[in-house]
Chains A and B, each alone.
Chain A
């Protein structure tokens, strides 16, 4: 089973994905949009949130869900440090001595950590072992019809400190100014989850953990998405720049084999997704789950999980 989710959310005055800092100026991540004007192309930079940022938030939610369900999470991932058994130093925490057999290494990692099972890993030593992530996430980009209204604007802030009387500047207030670039846009992004990949070897060795635990891991993966979206716990600087707004539309599709919702950056994405699903049903006799809402996103996510429970997948 393959789950694909399209999310549209409004975020005003957010600092969800900051990049380089130049002096006291912290920049928001931006991407170029090409705009045609009088037959000529020009580049407009719009605020964006990277897929890496969203993936980190998802995996952090997965840590909490997995631990809450008594599923294994390795020491590094439990701290939110997703090294993913990248070298001997990290892998030795799971198995020591490290075997020479790729399949044994993969099995050890999958058994010890749900995050590396779902989020993939790359052990970059000899023998190298890689596993693709079972979930995929796009960048969050301003929706096309409103992209030109998306903005990134620096906001001036100041810190004050009373200087000690013995200090060089005497007993005066010292002020430090700094700028945080904030973005405002109606964003869209896509999230996919390949449920069949969870708990199964990517080296052709079949299931690594018992079927019951695979189902539990799938459930944790779905709940993590639920929690991440519902709580808007993704991106950075939430403590002082929590975005004003929320999810405006959410579309969920579950199909037997891979199928991706039309990107929510297009205005007609819901209709287009529905039409494409009809083709899948008619041409390939494949059942699917589809639901969409602009009111209560949690309800759609709940229904998708119920559908997968009915199918015996979780």
Chain B
């Protein structure tokens, strides 16, 4: 999201403070995004040649040593990723950007993932949501697993906590995310937001 958003702003900077603790300029956008998550269509499968190598040479350390935080969806079906960005109106208003800028930027997301595969955004929708407290919810969107009970299938992965900063991944905290396959039932102390007919934790 940062790349098209900064393009709209006419800012070509991609590295902040190059001399010490170089960071990605995506860090400029990070405080404006409250939360981001995604859901996947179809049946994802974790696959990767690096995983195969690790399986052969290092036993079952697979997901811990790869930067591959979620499932692969190559295939004959038209699999899609749905990304969700939760923005805070007040923060956006106080920033140099507008919600419209974010909407246009969403159409311009061109790369995603650790090796930045080329993608195309097929649809963008804007909506208002209200955060609520719940103890049980059903969701198809990925969520942090800690402190929750899950009924259903999915993929568990340790991923970088982007809220701690973008770029300095060697020292960043890892959070455990659950990527559901279809919808799953979750129990715990949940903060949820309705998105159309769906729920995001």
- Enumerate chain A interface residues (CB-CB to B < 8 A): 2, 4, 31-36, 41, 43, 51, 102-103, 127-132, 136-138, 141, 144-145, 147-148, 190, 192, 194, 196-197, 200-204, 257-263, 266, 272-273, 276, 279-280, 283-284, 286
Contacts and interface: CB of A to CB of B under 8 A. Distances in A.
Interface of B: 3-4, 7-8, 11-15, 18-19, 22, 43, 45, 47, 72-78, 100, 103-105, 107-111, 116-122, 124
A138 B117 contact: yes
Contact of B12 (A32, A144, A200, A273): A200
Contacts of A144: 75-78
Contacts of A32: 47, 72, 74
Q: Tell which of B73, B105, B108, B119 has the most Cβ of chain A within 10 Å.
A: B108
A200 B108 CA distance: 20
A131 B14 contact: yes
A257 B47 CA distance: 33
26 contacts: A32-B72, A33-B75, A34-B74, A34-B76, A36-B76, A102-B19, A103-B18, A127-B19, A130-B14, A136-B111, A138-B118, A203-B15, A204-B11, A204-B12, A204-B13, A257-B4, A257-B8, A258-B3, A258-B109, A260-B119, A260-B121, A262-B120, A263-B118, A263-B119, A284-B100, A284-B104
A257 B18 contact: no
A220 to B, nearest CB: 19
User: Could you tell me the dominant secondary structure of chain A's interface residues?
Assistant: mixed
Contacts of A132: 14
Contacts of B110: 4, 136, 192, 258-260
Contact of A276 (B107, B117, B118): B107
A222 B119 CA distance: 21
Contact of B15 (A130, A148, A273): A130
Given A190-B118, A262-B120, A284-B100, A257 B7 contact: yes
B11 to A, nearest CB: 8
Given A130-B15, A131-B14, 16 more contacts: A35-B76, A41-B43, A127-B18, A138-B117, A141-B74, A144-B76, A192-B118, A202-B13, A203-B13, A204-B13, A258-B109, A259-B108, A260-B110, A260-B118, A276-B122, A279-B107
Given A131-B14, A204-B13, A284-B100, A262 B118 contact: no
A136 B3 contact: no
Contact of A136 (B7, B78, B118): B118
Contacts of A203: 13-15, 18
A151 B19 CA distance: 50
Closest 7 CB pairs of A and B: A258-B108, A34-B75, A204-B13, A102-B18, A138-B118, A260-B120, A258-B4
B190 to A, nearest CB: 31
B56 to A, nearest CB: 14
Q: Tell which of A34, A35, A141, A257 has the most Cβ of chain B within 10 Å.
A: A34
Contacts of B119: 260, 263
Contact of B120 (A43, A204, A263): A263
Q: Tell which of B14, B45, B124 has the most Cβ of chain A within 10 Å.
A: B14
Contacts of B11: 204
Nearest to B44: A34
Contacts of B111: 136
Contact of A259 (B12, B74, B107): B107
A202 B22 CA distance: 13
A147 B78 CA distance: 12
Nearest to B15: A203
Given A203-B13, A258-B108, A33 B3 contact: no
Nearest to A136: B118
Nearest to A191: B118
B120 A261 contact: yes
Contact of B76 (A148, A190, A259): A148
Contacts of A136: 110-111, 116, 118
Nearest to B3: A258
B3 to A, nearest CB: 7
Contacts of B12: 196-197, 200-202, 204
Given A196-B7, A258-B3, A283-B103, A266 B43 contact: no
A131 B24 CA distance: 11
Nearest to B120: A260
Contacts of B22: 128
Nearest to B103: A283
